[in-house]
């Protein structure tokens, strides 16, 4: 990196939200444009910056600042200019001239050490003198904090976040409580906090480090889908992370229990360790499900009357015996799970249930975990459907730095029946909040496919409920729609562990290639030219490459780079932003890869008026980049439902290209065309339910590219992803309490 020094001549632009600043600096080479994230800069300050030059297509040569140090200026003229620029609140150009004229080169010392002397200047009262001194001290303190944070090799972005959170307490927090940063500052995880702690001299076996390490391992396990960890596995992971002996851990786990931060529960011959919040959510889910189930149902099978169809329905709506039983159970039971693969009639059943309930005057709500799934649900039923987040009226709580929901026990949903589709995607967090918002006596129907991959978030909700005494219906019969769709038929074959059919199919193709580079070239050719011509679908918005893994030549990351070149190459009038190893370009298909509860979105009318606004963009949301604006240091993405989001460049770590995605990330979505590379990725990834999940993302066409033996291996590998989840066990325990005592004898918050 190069080092440049000079005087700040002008502040051209500053984004107060993220600290991004465009400013002019007078250096030895003349006036130059500097850009970067920095603390509040002022005209007249001296600056020393490290960075590198770049050539912008519109704004020309710029110095990209990576690190910088500023100093208040020396000399009477420089002091007057600095104070007159607004650097110190309460001082403008006229007052700056009076102050410097009175105190000269002693001005800054007076402001810091003898601020009462400022009252000698015409127009400054004693009260105003004290206010000026306080503002000047704040500026000096901010500079000291940033110099201090640079010792810990923190980027300007993180330094700004830390300063905004702690202000003058920054020194204490970083030196004495560095692991607070992992819990309280976005983007700073345990490992970064651990590096800071090491520089601050925190001992490897310090209590704070061990407690933070235990919490981090449990949080990481939740990110892998686990609700708890066996104690032996927890201790093993913590010892590996912290490089300490296992003997240290037991007292600290006991301390977490005493502080109600963790729960240890007997499980078989061992013990399960939960974060307290996960144990509370899992227990609440069990109690609420059984409580709902205990209320009186709407009616009985007799009220349904065994009708083949309702008045006005055509023959396509007629139900077979299993479907009719599912509908009857929806009247008998207050909680019901309906599970089945594609083409098994789930939508027909949902439509019948909706018509029966609404016809009887009941209020029905439909919801799904993702925007695309909710949209499909609404289109298939003709009934409004929303994402679960919007149903529960989510918002971001700044004081708690977490997502919250308006709807809860005190402000419940106004419905008699809630139907949730794509229930395999429900994690423990969403399920907990749905049940908190469901009023007493309301009915709940979960609709999903138990053979799909489990949720991205923690828990195994659908399968745990299916393994309990909660009533359920499994649909196995295929209704061969869409001219005997091979997608539906082959999905059934996969689920049964049978080989797929390829010959003579017009919507299901297998292109055999054995070399990975051949597969990449084939995929590019298919999506760029052949499939658009054959199907008529758009290669960016209506086709999706789905792959078993993220890394490697056929992983999502590499395929995204290749597909971006093919489908959205650079162009003179297309602006782009390089971020780490990625390039984000106008027109790119992108995906949010982690929940961001703070990110604000707006929906506009054709005239540009704001129709709706809110916060929260979620893992798996897909959109198109509409605008890249270097001047404002942000890019605009249009997501489903016409939600538009302005991403500050500092927040791009939550965004990824989405021409290709992993099978897990594709859950809850449906595409007209799906292309799936099949290659040797190891038995852990090449499973039956992964292949099944990928195939069932397609609505019209599936194209497999690769080796047929890999497909056969996947079908034969019925290994399911193992998750530590205790819901089924707690449901069984609670069932005994309910049946033995007629209801719950304990409250669960």
**Among the ranges given (165-174, 395-404, 727-736), the one the predictor scored with the smallest mean pLDDT:** 395-404
530 inside domain: no
Q: What is the pLDDT of residue 712?
A: 93
**Among the ranges given (143-147, 397-401, 472-476, 487-491), the one the predictor scored with the smallest mean pLDDT:** 397-401
- Regarding whether 175 and 240 lie in a shared domain, the answer is yes
For residue 435, report the phi and psi dihedrals to the nearest 5 degrees. -70, -30
Residue 745 scores a pLDDT above 80: no
Rounded to whole angstroms, how far apart are CA atoms 348 and 345?
A: 5
Under the banding of pLDDT at 50, 70 and 90, the label for residue 623 is: very high
CA angle, 264 then 438 then 364, to 5°: 145
The arithmetic mean of pLDDT across residues 482-509, rounded, is 84
- Regarding whether 415 and 335 lie in a shared domain, the answer is yes
548 inside domain: no
235 inside domain: yes
- Regarding whether 352 and 268 lie in a shared domain, the answer is no
357 inside domain: yes
524 inside domain: no
Domain CATH for 60: 2.40.50.140
Residue 638 scores a pLDDT above 90: yes
DSSP bridge partners of 448: 339
User: Using CB atoms within 10 A of its CB, is residue 638 exposed (0-12), middle (13-18) or buried (19+)?
Assistant: middle
**Among the ranges given (79-88, 189-198, 274-283, 552-561), the one the predictor scored with the smallest mean pLDDT:** 79-88
- Regarding whether 186 and 109 lie in a shared domain, the answer is no
Domain CATH for 90: 1.10.150
Q: What is the pLDDT of residue 366?
A: 97
Q: What is the pLDDT of residue 748?
A: 44
Residue 9 scores a pLDDT above 50: yes
3-state class of 418 per DSSP? strand
Q: Is the model more confident about 146 or about 423?
A: 423
Q: SS3 sequence, 642-677? A: HCEEEEEHHHHHHEEECCEEECHHHCCCCEEEEEEE
Q: Is the model more confident about 641 or about 50?
A: 50
Residues 188, 181 contacting (CB under 8 angstroms): yes
**Among the ranges given (269-278, 303-312, 388-397, 512-521), the one the predictor scored with the smallest mean pLDDT:** 303-312
Rounded to whole angstroms, how far apart are CA atoms 356 and 358?
A: 6
Q: Is the model more confident about 59 or about 605?
A: 605
The arithmetic mean of pLDDT across residues 541-569, rounded, is 94
* Chain-centroid distance, C-alpha 408: 22
- Regarding whether 342 and 284 lie in a shared domain, the answer is yes
Token readout for 322 is 């299993």
**Among the ranges given (201-215, 263-277, 351-365, 678-692), the one the predictor scored with the smallest mean pLDDT:** 678-692
The per-residue pLDDT for range 114-127, each reduced to its tens digit, is: 989 999 998 899 99
Q: What is the pLDDT of residue 228?
A: 97
Residue 304 scores a pLDDT above 70: no
Q: What is the pLDDT of residue 542?
A: 95
Domain holding 10, by residue range, is: 1-71
Selection from 316, 300, 231, 234 nearest residue 271 by Cα: 231
Under the banding of pLDDT at 50, 70 and 90, the label for residue 371 is: confident
Q: SS3 sequence, 427-476? A: CHHHHHHHHHHCCCCCEEEEEECCCCCCCCCCCCHHHHHHCCCCCEEEEC
Residue 338 scores a pLDDT above 50: yes
Residue 716 scores a pLDDT above 60: yes
Residue 57 scores a pLDDT above 90: no
Rounded to whole angstroms, how far apart are CA atoms 435 and 320?
A: 31
Q: What is the pLDDT of residue 42?
A: 83
Give residue for tokens 């003997």. Answer: 247
Q: Of 483, 518, 538, at which residue does a domain stop?
A: 483
Residue 254 scores a pLDDT above 90: yes
Would you say the C-alpha torsion 30, 35, 41, 43 has a positive or negative sign?
Answer: positive
Under the banding of pLDDT at 50, 70 and 90, the label for residue 401 is: low
Domain CATH for 448: 3.40.50.300
- Regarding whether 59 and 14 lie in a shared domain, the answer is yes
Residues 298, 329 contacting (CB under 8 angstroms): no
- Regarding whether 210 and 346 lie in a shared domain, the answer is no
Rounded to whole angstroms, how far apart are CA atoms 540 and 567?
A: 7
3-state class of 484 per DSSP? helix
Residue 309 scores a pLDDT above 80: no
Q: What is the pLDDT of residue 41?
A: 83
343 inside domain: yes
**How does the average pLDDT of the chain come out, rounded?**
87
Rounded to whole angstroms, how far apart are CA atoms 222 and 91?
A: 52
Q: SS3 sequence, 145-182? A: HHHHHHCCCCCHHHHHHHHHHHHHHHHHHHHHCCCHHH
Helix boundaries (H) for 589-748: 688-695, 708-716, 727-741
The arithmetic mean of pLDDT across residues 231-236, rounded, is 96
3-state class of 746 per DSSP? coil
Residue 327's H or E segment, with its range, is helix 321-332
Q: Of 455, 483, 511, at which residue does a domain stop?
A: 483
Q: Of 274, 289, 312, at which residue does a domain stop?
A: 274
Domain CATH for 244: 1.10.10.2220
* Proportion of the chain above pLDDT 90, given as a percent: 51
- Regarding whether 124 and 39 lie in a shared domain, the answer is no
**Among the ranges given (214-228, 686-700, 735-749), the one the predictor scored with the smallest mean pLDDT:** 735-749
- Regarding whether 479 and 339 lie in a shared domain, the answer is yes
**Among the ranges given (75-89, 329-343, 602-616), the one the predictor scored with the smallest mean pLDDT:** 75-89
Selection from 451, 427, 468, 388 nearest residue 225 by Cα: 427
- Regarding whether 316 and 436 lie in a shared domain, the answer is yes
* Proportion of the chain above pLDDT 70, given as a percent: 93
Q: What is the pLDDT of residue 743?
A: 46
The arithmetic mean of pLDDT across residues 515-540, rounded, is 94
Helix boundaries (H) for 89-226: 93-103, 107-113, 126-150, 156-166, 170-176, 180-184, 190-199, 207-223
Residues 397, 403 contacting (CB under 8 angstroms): yes
Q: What is the pLDDT of residue 302?
A: 47
187 inside domain: yes
Residue 249 scores a pLDDT above 90: yes
Residues 327, 353 contacting (CB under 8 angstroms): yes
681 inside domain: no
- Regarding whether 95 and 61 lie in a shared domain, the answer is no
Number of compact structural domains in the chain:
4
Token readout for 150 is 């640079």
- Regarding whether 146 and 182 lie in a shared domain, the answer is no
Residue 507 scores a pLDDT above 60: yes
Q: What is the pLDDT of residue 83?
A: 86
Q: What is the pLDDT of residue 88?
A: 82
């Amino acid at each position: 990196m190069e080092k440049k020094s000079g005087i700040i001549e002008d502040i051209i632009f500053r984004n107060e939200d993220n600290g991004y600043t465009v400013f002019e600096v007078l250096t030895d080479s003349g006036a130059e444009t500097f850009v970067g994230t920095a603390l509040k800069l002022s005209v007249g300050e001296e600056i020393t910056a490290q960075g590198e030059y770049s050539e912008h297509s519109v704004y020309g040569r710029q110095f990209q600042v990576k690190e910088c140090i500023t100093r208040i200026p020396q000399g009477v003229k420089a002091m007057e200019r600095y104070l007159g620029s607004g650097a110190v609140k309460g001082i403008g150009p006229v007052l700056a001239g009076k102050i410097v004229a009175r105190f000269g080169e002693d001005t800054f010392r007076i402001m810091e050490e003898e601020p009462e002397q400022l009252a000698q200047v015409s127009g400054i009262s004693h009260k105003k003198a004290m206010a000026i001194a306080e503002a000047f001290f704040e500026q000096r303190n901010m500079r000291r904090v940033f110099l201090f944070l640079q010792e810990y090799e923190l980027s300007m972005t993180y330094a700004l976040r830390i300063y905004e959170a702690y202000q003058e307490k920054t020194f204490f927090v970083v030196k004495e409580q560095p692991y607070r940063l992992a819990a309280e500052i976005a983007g700073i995880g345990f490992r970064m906090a651990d590096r800071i702690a090491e520089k601050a001299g925190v001992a490897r076996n310090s209590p704070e480090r061990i407690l933070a390490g235990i919490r981090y391992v449990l949080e990481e396990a939740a990110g892998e889908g686990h609700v708890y960890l066996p104690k032996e596995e927890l201790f093993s992971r913590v010892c590996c992370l912290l490089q300490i002996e296992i003997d240290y851990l037991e007292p600290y786990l006991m301390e977490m229990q005493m502080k109600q931060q963790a729960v240890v529960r007997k499980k078989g011959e061992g013990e399960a360790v939960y974060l307290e919040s996960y144990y509370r959510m899992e227990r609440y889910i069990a109690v609420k499900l059984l409580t709902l189930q205990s209320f009186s149902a709407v009616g009985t099978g007799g009220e349904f009357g065994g009708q083949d169809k309702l008045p006005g329905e055509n023959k396509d709506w007629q139900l077979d015996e299993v479907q009719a039983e599912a509908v009857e159970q929806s009247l008998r039971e207050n909680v019901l799970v309906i599970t089945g693969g594609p083409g098994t009639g789930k939508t027909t059943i949902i439509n019948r249930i909706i018509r029966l309930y609404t016809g009887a005057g009941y209020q029905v709500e439909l919801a799904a975990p993702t925007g695309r799934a909710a949209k499909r649900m609404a289109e298939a039923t003709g009934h409004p459907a929303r994402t679960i987040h919007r149903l529960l009226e989510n918002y971001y709580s700044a004081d708690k730095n977490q997502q919250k929901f308006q709807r809860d026990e005190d402000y419940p949903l106004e419905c008699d029946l809630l139907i949730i589709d794509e229930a395999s995607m429900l994690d423990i967090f969403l399920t907990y909040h749905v049940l908190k918002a469901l009023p007493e006596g309301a009915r709940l129907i979960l609709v999903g496919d138990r053979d799909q991959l489990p949720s991205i978030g923690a828990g195994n909700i659908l399968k745990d409920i299916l393994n309990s005494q909660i009533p359920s219906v499994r649909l196995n019969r295929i209704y061969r729609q869409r001219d005997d769709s091979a997608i539906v038929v082959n999905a059934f074959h996969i689920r049964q562990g049978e080989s797929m059919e390829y010959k003579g199919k017009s919507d299901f193709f297998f292109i055999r290639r054995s070399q990975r580079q051949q597969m990449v070239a084939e995929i590019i050719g298919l999506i760029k030219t052949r499939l658009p011509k054959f199907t008529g679908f758009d290669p960016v918005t209506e086709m999706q490459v789905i792959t078993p893994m993220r890394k490697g030549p056929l992983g999502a990351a590499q395929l995204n780079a290749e597909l971006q070149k093919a489908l959205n190459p650079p162009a003179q009038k297309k602006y782009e932003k390089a971020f780490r190893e990625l390039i984000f370009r106008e027109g790119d298909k992108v995906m949010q890869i982690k929940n961001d509860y703070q990110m604000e979105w707006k929906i506009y009318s054709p005239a540009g008026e704001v129709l709706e606004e809110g916060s929260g963009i979620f893992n798996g949301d897909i959109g198109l980049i509409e605008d890249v604006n270097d001047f404002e240091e942000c890019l605009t993405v249009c997501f489903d439902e016409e939600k538009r989001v302005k991403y500050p460049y500092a927040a791009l770590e939550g965004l990824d290209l989405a021409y290709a995605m992993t099978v897990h990330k594709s859950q809850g979505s449906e595409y007209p065309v799906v292309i799936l590379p099949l290659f040797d990725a190891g038995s852990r990834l090449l499973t039956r339910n992964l292949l099944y999940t990928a195939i069932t993302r397609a609505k019209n066409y599936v194209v497999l590219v690769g080796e047929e033996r890999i497909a056969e291996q996947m079908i034969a590998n019925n290994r399911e992803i193992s998750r530590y989840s205790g819901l089924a066990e707690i449901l069984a325990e609670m069932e005994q309490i309910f049946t033995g005592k007629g209801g719950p004898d304990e409250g669960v918050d």
